[in-house]
Structure 1
């Protein structure tokens, strides 16, 4: 099970005990926010993209949307999400539990600037009813992120 894979992966930072499991689904930003009793923008959603020759993950704030112009300027291609049917095989986690931890080899993880306005955020942990609270340094380290990017829109207006 993917959540077990993530727990095992997080052991190297002694963070496996921080994984939260819910009795309810946390498969969407809205459901995760309800399960965690927090604002949806603090949910760190992990989006899977197909660059043709490889797949990448971009972790964004729950209220952010991919800006196609910024994405194309950064990655040289139009944003094309992986079809849901391919996500688990190519990334290592099924839709609803996709996270930047314990992913398949050769998957590059990018973190969007929309996350930096929070002290902590909640990414999933490999299942549709899990999450972990991490700060930005932990998110960067645990995910093995390549870099921080600015490829989203709509979140700046939503800041409080």
Structure 2
């Protein structure tokens, strides 16, 4: 097997440490968007657990929402739970979370992260999450995601 990029190897090592039995998979094409990742994996867009990062205005904390790839995150719903939000630029995400945008993993953050998990993910059997690199993903159940992150599950999706 080819060597994983450093950031993906960090995730693979963390998954091994916590006893997760699924490997980090490298996609031949980028998985920067949910649609690209789903196409590369042969799954539905809903099965992509995308990580969206915001900046909480009150204390500059990183706020991550792990949402179903088919959902748009409703910033107002998230703000009602965690407080007023601002945009998180690429530098903020890299400094506070530890991963570059396009490969933001829901675990293994460099600092404390306020997290929420999209309740719609719990309707699925398995999901795929970014593993620290735009081409790297790993498979897990929604229950494993909740356990790994210790994040509350919430209604965060924008509804039509």
Name the TM-score, length of structure 2 as normaliser. 0.87
Q: Where does 1:100-111 land on structure 2 (aligned, <5 Å)?
A: 100-111=106-117
1:112/1:150 contact within 8 Å kept? yes
Of 37, 44, 50, the match for 2:49: 44
Say if 1:126 and 1:40 are closer, same or farther in 2 by CA, change over 3 A: same
1:59/1:111 contact within 8 Å kept? yes
Q: Where does 1:27-106 land on structure 2 (aligned, <5 Å)?
A: 27-52=32-57, 53=59, 54-77=61-84, 79-106=85-112
Give the 3-state SS of the residue equivalent to 1:138 in structure 2. Answer: helix
* Alpha-carbon distance between aligned partners in 1 of 2:115 and 2:83, rounded to the nearest angstrom: 16
1:47/1:81 contact within 8 Å kept? no
1:47-69 deviation line (CA, Å, top 9, x unaligned):
11100311121100001112233
1:125/1:131 contact within 8 Å kept? yes
Which residue in the other structure is 2:24 paired with? 19
Number of equivalences:
153
* Alpha-carbon distance between aligned partners in 1 of 2:127 and 2:15, rounded to the nearest angstrom: 16
Matched, 1:124 2:130: yes
Long gaps (5+) in structure 1: none
1:74/1:151 contact within 8 Å kept? no
1:4-27 deviation line (CA, Å, top 9, x unaligned):
111111112332652111221111
Q: Higher mean Cα deviation, 117-126 or 80-89? A: 80-89
CA RMSD of aligned residues (A): 1.7
Long gaps (5+) in structure 2: 1-5
Of 8, 22, 29, the match for 1:3: 8
* Alpha-carbon distance between aligned partners in 2 of 1:46 and 1:126, rounded to the nearest angstrom: 11
Give the 3-state SS of the residue equivalent to 1:153 in structure 2. Answer: coil
Name the TM-score, length of structure 1 as normaliser. 0.87
